[in-house]
Structure 1
């Protein structure tokens, strides 16, 4: 029974260590313009406003490393006024207590305390008091923590927001439960539920689910407790950006242990430990070891339980957790008692008393019961009976009022309260769902508009790409085409000639090459003008195109000089083509262009041979033959014969 009750209390503490801080807003009476340096009042006021704004962030946001880094940067600023420095240290304590490091939290509060006293400003004092409540509770000074929380609530209940008031009430409810004042705790939790529902805060609603689960565990209704813990996990996983409390998994695992579902208990304990290691949450790591130790104790694996408790103790000592030091020692005592190591069990009972400044009455009852069990195992039955009787009297005297109140909550009343609670939450969830539906409709309109704009943008981009590619192709064609004749220019025709040369060499075939030049073309330009000269070149290019075959290529390589590529053509066929072109040039009617124009041309014709080591040899040979045709009087075809000699 003790293990059950203690695990629930420790779960409750760990839970509220995570949601300890609510949104802290400067009171209306606050005057954040105070500064130790009057000349920097404007800058100090802006910085204080920024710090109070950071205090308004949600609990998950104030747990993040980004929050820590920003406060660190602010503390490193030179010439901070006392107000800003005090508030920054309070917020740093806030970060550390949210992450389970009570020692570091107390260090920063110690730095802030004299500054707070020096500033003596109401809003700042309440900030300090608020953070101090959670540090005091973590340090085990629960009486003082409860007193400060009661006073603070009375001061701020009409000025603070619903969600932070809900957090404060949850903390008060937890502290009163530590003092075994369950009647008062239940009333406070009912008030916290009202705040959670009115604020529409998924974080606070999930925490309320969790606390109701803890209450059902107190009432020995484990099935209902599991149901509410599962609801808390469901809300957390549904809103991961707003709710992040790994303790929910640990709480659920501990409840499965109480319900003797040990496989599920281990599953959630291990999941909580894995996530706590990722987030470096040392108190939660300690709690998961403690849950696993209790599972081992329940399954009579006492040696493994002691090993897990040792790990939990080491982790708690790292962060200065004092409130539950005695609880670990009583867990040790129970495990050693089951092992039959009575001296060690008794020793850990003494350690438990030393760990706490003041042991609660219920713990005193349990310690006497443990001692009674030890005495009975040693055969000291009279002493065991006396201790057991004292334990019963302590329990009855301390909890008579609370037990009477709880016993009056009949099964029907509990079911009715649970139904009422679920109806409230269902109503609130429906309201939230309706709000989300309206937002979804609005977002859908924007989304459809955005999709249409994106499609238009995509169409424009496609059109621009198509246009760019078309322009690029046109530019490429212009760069490779002669502007006058629209034939391939020198670059393009030589590129095609190189491709044909490589293909022919690879396939071991043949091709022929013709280079021809218009005879006395300069005379035509000088006599008739360049405009007529251009027309003559165009007419000659047209005649050549219509004379050649489809796979032949002609290109203009200079003013009046042209090059013809004849694929798969030997020298004799090439000579025939050149003679036919020369005849057509001579017989063509150029009188329509200008009276007195008569056109002839000189041709150099050659073919590729295997002895040609490169393309330049073929081109140079054709060029020499053209030169020879001009030298011998023009208006003729000069070619290489099959045996390599020249012929007309």
Structure 2
């Protein structure tokens, strides 16, 4: 799949993110048309050393091993197919090697054909993928099913939008994980990550690209690993890390040039064009974009030709060469219409609007902007919408429609604020990922050190046994030595016993210990005819805290909540952690009313925690359920179950509150 995934993907234009019709208010510092992504997912797909396809004229006899060898080369990105003729020849050779009545290899041929055979007919490609998926399901061929999911996704992008393909990629990724197929998993992660990158989810995209890189490296798929660097470069560029992006792009260009990989060279040229936009240097974008256009036409790839022309139109608009922009847009539309590619419709209208506005045709520009909005709104891409609002506000102002201009400027401010918040969230996720990676590395080193220590302990224990045997022979002096060793072992076992009953993170009783304490308290209360109350509580929205701030912050929240609650309890009250963010409190000799007061105190104390040192604006609360021991209770589980009923009611009633169950 890696080799062919990019066959139908497009490298599209990218804006510098500012009003190209001289709007005085800047938009977001970046924005790409939908088709830019198409090449990146595909770049992992278009391979390495150029096959000598001209030698394929004489088709060989069917052979299972020869078929597998050639199919592996395609799947593992070891062939670069630079033209439709080369693609047709390689597919003919693969089909000639296909043994008859071999259902598994037949499905493999079909999914490779699915990726490669429809470069300019997305509708036929989608139908082919649908049929292949149904046949793979009937044959219970999970690998083929995943590949047809990925293939269908790439055509769905062209016919609809990239976001529409996420369900296909998610389904294929799940199958790849189940199969433990590292190469197939990497392909799916690259495809999904590229969509996320295009939609502005750069942190998610990088996580997918980096996981794909680990999968490829683990499976020793060097070609796919090298090709994936272009995806990483693009994500860094969209994050504004231009130097990092440039370094990866140079590496990708060298790699592609060494192997004659035309598709990767085309994508690299497009990326360098986008970098020129973002550095306010549209004049230097034309050379790489023109080269990308020439490569696309050389390959017979009308989709990427249209994308390159659209990017050139953006450059012309930035330079205020509006007539040249209009001409480039018309040529781009011809290419896209020829292959039923609707993915750039919104960006086409937007660039037409900018050009018409620059030529003073404000009424015509407004029609273009309105058409662009209808198309772009469905994708909810904030970067495009920010550019649209900025450009349209200028046109409204030029026509004297100040109220409409003000409305667009307000929407621009709102969109830019949302983009800023999203950018901060992206960096938070990246920092969390980097921290978690460092923590995993530290944990791995600690485990390695523990292993060495345990091995040393085993050696020491063996020596101890030898000394014990010798002690029996040597008499009383060595018996004293044996007693000393036994005493040391006793203290060690007592320490281990304590640790076994304690939660290692918070230091309070673990589930086993607090449940034992609850059972004991029930027996004592009944024996002495005393009251007893228990509380159950958990931290509200704890999963959201972990997702937004990382598990390290989540661990600190658990420690601080536990410490605060422990400080508010009596010495003989028992607090224990029963689950991830779930706790149980045993209150001996306490009636329900007093237990409610204790619960309210815990709730208030936790709500008052200051957590700005962990994350600015972070707050935390708990929900509690309270119940009192009744004569009819069969034991601990009945009591806890009743408290949990109250806890769930507290959650359903808005959280950060106390409820009792009588």
State the TM-score, normalized to the length of structure 2: 0.52
How far apart, CA to CA, are the structure 1 residues paired with 2:364 and 2:172?
44
After TM superposition, list the pairs within 5 Å mapping 1:541-620 onto structure 2. none
In structure 1, the residue matched to 2:403 is 382
| Structure 2 contact 227–252 (Cα < 8 Å) conserved | yes
Per-residue CA deviations over 1:288-316 (Å, capped at 9, x if unaligned) read: 21222222112111110111111111111
Distance 2:255 2:273 in 1: 17
Match of 1:332 among 337, 348, 352: 352
Which residue is equivalent to 1:229? Answer: 249
Tell me which residue corresponds to 2:77.
Answer: 58
Select the residue among 123, 128, 140 that pairs with 2:160: 140
Superposition deviation, residue 351 in structure 1: 3.0
Aligned to 2:173: 153
Aligned twin of 2:626: none
Distance 1:399 1:150, change over 3 A: farther
1:508-519 to structure 2, matched below 5 A, reads none
Per the TM alignment, residue 318 of structure 1 is displaced from its structure 2 partner at its CA by 1.6
Alignment-derived partner of residue 288 in structure 1: 308
Structure 1: distance between partners of 2:430 and 2:146: 37
Is the 8 Å Cα contact of residues 6 and 327 (structure 1) preserved in structure 2?
no
Report how far residue 332 of structure 1 moved. Answer: 1.5
**2-structure distance, mates of 1:408, 1:113:** 35
Partner residue in 2 for 1:207: 227
Matching residue of 1:258: 278
Cα 1:79–1:352 shift into 2, 3 Å: farther
| Residue 101 (structure 1) shift | 4.7
Unmatched runs of 5 consecutive residues or more in structure 2:
1-15, 19-28, 49-61, 442-662
For each residue in 1:402-433, what CA deviation from the matched residue of structure 2 results, as whole angstroms up to 9, or x when unmatched? 434438979xx99x99xx9xxxxxxxxxxxxx
Secondary structure of the 1:246 match is helix
Superposed displacement of residue 330, structure 1: 1.3
Q: Which has the higher contact order (CA 8 A, sep 6+)?
A: 2
Q: Which runs of 5+ in 1 are unaligned?
A: 24-42, 421-648
Q: How does 1:419-568 map to 2 (within 5 A)?
A: none
- Aligned pairs, number: 395
What's the CA shift string for 1:59-109, capped at 9, x where partnerless? Answer: 644676445335457779998677666544432221046x46533422432
The equivalent position to 1:369 in structure 2, one of 390, 414, 420, is 390
Partner residue of 1:14 out of 39, 52, 71: 39
Please give the alpha-carbon distance, in whole angstroms, between the structure 2 residues aligned to 1:115 and 1:408.
40
User: Once the 2 structures are TM-superposed, how far is the Cα of residue 213 of structure 1 from its aligned partner?
Assistant: 2.7
TM-score scaled by structure 1?
A: 0.53
* Distance in 2 (alpha carbons) for counterparts of 1:100 and 1:63: 15
SS in 1 for 2:128: helix
- Whether the 8 Å CA contact 1:60–1:242 is kept in 2: the answer is no
Residue 144 of structure 1: CA displacement? 4.2
Distance in 2 of aligned mates of 1:397 and 1:262: 27
Name the CA shift for 1:275/1:144 in 2 (closer, same or farther; >3 Å): closer
Q: Aligned to 1:240, which of 260, 263, 267? A: 260
Partners of 1:160 and 1:67 lie apart in 2 by: 30
Provide the residue aligned with 2:30 in structure 1. Answer: 5
In structure 1, the residue matched to 2:142 is: 122
Query: Any residues of structure 2 matched to 1:269-288 within 5 Å, and which?
Result: 269-288=289-308
1:278-357 map, 5 Å = 278-353=298-373, 355=375
Give the Cα–Cα distance (whole angstroms) in 1 for the partners of residues 281 and 219 of structure 2: 36
Aligned with 1:94 (options 115, 121, 129): 115
Q: Secondary structure at the match of 1:358?
A: helix
Following superposition, the deviation at residue 380 of structure 1 comes to 1.7
Partner of 1:440: none
Tell me how far apart the structure 1 counterparts of residues 247 and 340 of structure 2 sit (CA, whole Å): 33
Q: Does the aligned pair in 2 maintain the 1:83–1:116 contact within 8 Å?
A: no
Are residues 315 and 113 of structure 1, via their aligned partners in 2, closer, same or farther at CA, if it must alter by over 3 Å? same
Q: How far, CA to CA, are the matches of 1:409 and 1:110 in structure 2?
A: 36
Contact preservation (8 Å) 1:276, 1:282: yes
- Residue 357 of structure 2 aligns to a residue whose secondary structure is helix
Alpha-carbon contact 2:350-2:368 (below 8 Å) kept: yes
1:403 aligns with 2:438: no
